[in-house]
């Protein structure tokens, strides 16, 4: 059985020359890495090779230091106690409409510039903003948080683990999916 398998593999390798090509693939893969690093060294939007303290791409360190984090349970309690806090969903609008944390308003990252003026007209700058996105790493939340801080919102908090964490904690949700 093993012989027939190794025979089939040998025939496959002989037919496709895949083993001969493997060193070429390795050369291309490493050349791409070297070229990427070389281009980055002279690129006007050069990226740091590691994410340093901010741990998120695209978030300036000065902003990152002003952001705070909380978990879903504490965010729910803050919003429920009415501590001048507003729960904000930064996921796509269609996902918000289907299901969102109860009491959350929508400010989607994709389409931020379209929706922000209405948000700004309703939400005062001193309000505590509790942002959540889809999942665990909060990249979208951090980017929306950056934009809000740059526009004058001083009290911006990111909800760790996003909507996935919210539902996992069994916190109340609303939306089309829960309307019946």
Partner 1 sequence: MRRTVGIVLRLIVGGIFLYAAYDKVIHPGQFAEILMDYEALPLGAVNLVALWLPMLEVIVGLALIVGLWVRANALLGSGLMAVFIVGIAQALGRGVGLHCGCFSTSPGGEARTWISLWEEGLLVGGCVALWVLRWPTIRSLSIAQHRRAP
The candidate with the shortest Cα–Cα distance to 71, out of 165, 148, 137, 153, is 165
Closer Cβ to partner 1, 1 or 41, answer by number: 41
Helix, strand and coil percent figures for the chain, each rounded to 5: 50, 15, 35
Using rule CB under 8 A, residue 37 touches partner 1 = yes
Number of shown-chain residues binding partner 1 (CB under 8 A)? 46
**What is the bridge-based pairing of β-strands 128-132 and 105-106?**
unpaired
- Contact residue for partner 1 among 43, 62, 66, 178 (CB under 8 A): 43
- Contact residue for partner 1 among 6, 10, 31, 84 (CB under 8 A): 31
- Cα gap 114→110, rounded to integer Å: 9
Using rule CB under 8 A, residue 16 touches partner 1 = yes
- Contact residue for partner 1 among 19, 28, 154, 169 (CB under 8 A): 28
Closer Cβ to partner 1, 106 or 155, answer by number: 106
| Smallest distance, partner 1 to C-beta of residue 1, A | 26
Using rule CB under 8 A, residue 91 touches partner 1 = yes
Q: Return the half-sphere exposure (C-beta side, CA atoms, 13 A cut-off) of residue 28.
A: 5
- 117-156 residues near partner 1, rule: CB under 8 A: 134-137, 139-140, 143
Alpha helices (H) in 68-138, listed in sequence order: 72-80, 93-98, 112-122
- Cα gap 86→120, rounded to integer Å: 13
- Cα gap 9→2, rounded to integer Å: 10
Task: Point out which residues bind partner 1 (CB under 8 A).
Answer: 15-18, 21-22, 24-25, 28-29, 31-33, 35-37, 39-40, 43, 45-51, 55-58, 91-92, 94-95, 109-112, 134-137, 139-140, 143, 164
């Amino acid at each position: 059985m093993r012989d027939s398998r190794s025979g089939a593999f040998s025939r496959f390798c002989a037919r496709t020359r895949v083993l001969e090509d493997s060193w070429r693939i390795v050369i291309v893969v490493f050349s791409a890495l070297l070229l990427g690093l070389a281009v980055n060294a002279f690129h006007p939007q050069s990226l740091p090779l590691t994410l340093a303290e901010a741990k998120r791409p695209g978030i300036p360190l000065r902003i990152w230091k002003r952001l705070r984090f909380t978990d879903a349970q504490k965010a729910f309690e803050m919003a429920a106690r009415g501590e001048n806090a507003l729960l904000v969903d930064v996921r796509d609008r269609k996902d918000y409409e289907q299901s969102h944390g109860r009491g959350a308003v929508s400010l989607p990252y994709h389409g931020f510039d379209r929706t922000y003026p209405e948000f700004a007209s309703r939400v005062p700058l001193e309000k505590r903003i509790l942002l959540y996105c889809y999942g665990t790493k909060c990249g979208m939340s951090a980017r929306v948080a950056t934009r809000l801080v740059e526009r004058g919102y001083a009290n911006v908090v990111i909800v760790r683990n996003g909507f996935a964490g919210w539902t996992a904690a069994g916190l109340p949700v609303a939306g089309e999916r829960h309307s019946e």
